[in-house]
Structure formats: structure tokens, C-alpha cells
Structure 1
Amino acid sequence: MNIVSKNLQSKDMHIDNIIIEINILIGYFKDYRETGFSKAIDEAKQVAIEMCIDPIFPQKHLIQRKKTFDESSSSEEISFTAEENFKVNYFLHIVDQVIYSLETKFEQFKEYDRVFGFLFPYNLRGIEDKDLKSSCHCLEKELKFEEKSDIDAEELYTELKLFETLE
């Protein structure tokens, strides 16, 4: 997380690199959601032992609720161990919040990539003529306001083709 944050703050960071970095980070947290709990517990137990603390989850007192006469006796209540409770109610909740936050906050970057992504040098080199022309028209449409546009798709296409031949 820290490395990605530092990269995002660098002066020469490009939007295409931001999208790649964020997707890698989201993938990391999705993997961590599945495999990270046991690793985190092992590390926490090790730290607790070093601090001379019992590496156990304290068991909370379970409140027994009386059933009313019309409740079925077959209704099962789910009870978790203290460790399972921590995993479900804290660990997974926090990791899910991180994933959701990353996905929603960087959704705009994905939109920029959708609209402007064809202009990135590594995309521009390998794009076919029909796709380039289509992307130019999509960009013109996106930048239109009250039927006026700052760019002309055909002129942009021609300029990009000239730029491509200069390289």
C-alpha cells in the first residue's frame, strides 16, 4: 500500500500506470481476503508471545435469549468461536471496506482510461486504423457539450496517424 501511494505521488506518474498499480493493489487485497487471516493470526500470536501475553482470543459471555411459545425450536442459532467471530466481524469487514474503497475511488481513472486510453503511447503504437478512428469519434462525442465539440475526430485521427509515422 505504501509503495503504491508513493508511486501515485511521483511527478512522472501517468494515468495508465495508476490504473495498473491500483488493479494490482485490489488483486492483492482480494487474495489477502482469502489467505491473509491465518498469516495475520500467526504474526499476532508471535507478537503476543514476545510481549508475554497469552495468544488467545478472550471468549465473550454468550447471552441466552428465551424463546417465545410461537418460535420453532428447530431454528438454529449460529455461534462462532472467538477467532471465527473476529474473522467475520472485523477482519473480513475491514478488508472488504478497503477493496470497496479502492474500487470506487479509482473508478474515475478507469473512465479516463476508457475515454483517453487510446492516446497513451503504448496503446497508440499497436492500434489498428479502424479502432483508432472509432476511438477518436468516441472522444469527440465524450467532449461534446450542447452539440459543440473542442475537437474534430477526423482531424485528430489524421494528426495521430502523422504522429505515429514520426516515431
Structure 2
Amino acid sequence: MTSKQLQEKEFNINDAINQLGETKKFLVGRRSDTDFEKTLVDAGELAEELDVPALFEPDPIRIRKKRKQFTYEADDEPIYNLKEKFKVNFYFAVIDTAIHLAEERFTLMQQISSVFGFLYDVYSLQNTTPKQIMEDCLNLEQALQHGESKDIDAFDLCNELQAFA
């Protein structure tokens, strides 16, 4: 749902930020043992519908011991339970990656909104003080400035936005 919203033409950055926050909460909630069990049940039902075996098969490869480089290194206990191995090495890894990516996009959207956000809702400019509009325009001018070169003039933009409001 979030991915589709981020790709829409009528893109509202504030709604996208809220949706990304909800997605992150959902993913963090899914990173638990009980949700893993629910996911296994759902996957088992789907596999049954598709006539696919839903069993964890043992690896035919023998687990090798690695030589330790230093005496203070702790031994990593190998996971022999295939269900636990799947949970740790795949399920939690995928959930952690998704949480990280959602958090990254959430942060980027907030940064973009802090600079351009006031332009997305021109109707709210009627209730905004001229001082606040000027501050937002100055922030935008600074963000779009490269050296001495400016893409916009904050005072002109402020005057146009106030007239437009």
C-alpha cells in the first residue's frame, strides 16, 4: 500500500510520511516469535493450496568448525533446528532490512518536507503568519543555493505566496 502511494501522481508528502511511519510500526510489530509462527501457518496454508511441500528439509552438508584466530573469540553455536535457522537467517533478516529501508525513506521524506512542505498545502498559507512564510522561503532559498548562485529569491517568493494566499 505504501509503495503504491509513493508512486502516485497526486503525491502528498505529508500523507506519505504518515504512511511510511505506519509501515515501519507494522514491520517492527511483525518482528516477533508469535508473528513468525503466524507467518509459518499462513505459508503452510498457501503451500497446501498450491500443492507444494511445506517442510524444512535438513541440509546434506556437514557443518564445519572454523579455526579461531585469537583465544578470546567466543564459539558461535550452530543452529541445528531448521525452523529456528530459517527464522534467524531469513525471516528476521528480511524484516530487519525492510525496517531499515522504511526508516531511511521516512527520514528522507521528513528532510524533504522540512524544506518544501509549506509549498504542498497552499491553502494553509492563509492561516500562516507572514513571518513564518518568510522563514520557510529563506530555508528554501538556502537549500537551493550553490555558492553565490541562487535558484530563487526568498523575498520575491514570500511576496508571491502572500498574494496567492
TM-score by length of 2: 0.70
Q: Counterpart of 1:17 in 2: which secondary structure?
A: helix
Q: Counterpart of 1:131 in 2: which secondary structure?
A: helix
2:133/2:158 contact within 8 Å kept = yes
Q: Distance in 2 between matches of 1:67 and 1:145?
A: 54
1:57-136 alignment runs, 5 A limit: 57-60=56-59, 63=63, 65=65, 77-80=76-79, 81-104=81-104, 108-121=108-121, 124=125, 127-136=128-137
Structure 2: runs of 5+ lacking an equivalent: none
1:14 aligns with 12
TM-score by length of 1: 0.69
2:36 aligns with 37
Alignment root-mean-square deviation, CA: 3.4
1:148-167 alignment runs, 5 A limit: 148-164=149-165
1:117/1:123 contact within 8 Å kept = no
Structure 1: runs of 5+ lacking an equivalent: none
Query: Quick one: which of 4, 11, 18 aligns to 2:2?
Result: 4
Count, aligned residues: 158
Tell me how far 1:7 sits from its aligned partner.
2.9
Q: Distance in 2 between matches of 1:89 and 1:149?
A: 50
Q: Deviations over 1:102-161 (max 9, x none)?
A: 444565433321211122216645544443322211111111223132322223223323
Residues 33, 129 of structure 1: alpha-carbon distance in 2 compared, 3 angstrom cutoff: farther
Q: Relative contact order: is structure 1 or structure 2 higher (C-alpha 8 Å, sep ≥ 6)?
A: 2
Tell me how far 1:76 sits from its aligned partner.
5.3
1:132/1:157 contact within 8 Å kept = yes
Moved over 6 A (4+): none
Q: Deviations over 1:25-72 (max 9, x none)?
A: 23322222235312111112334555484x54334466364989x969
Q: Distance in 1 between matches of 2:16 and 2:52?
A: 43
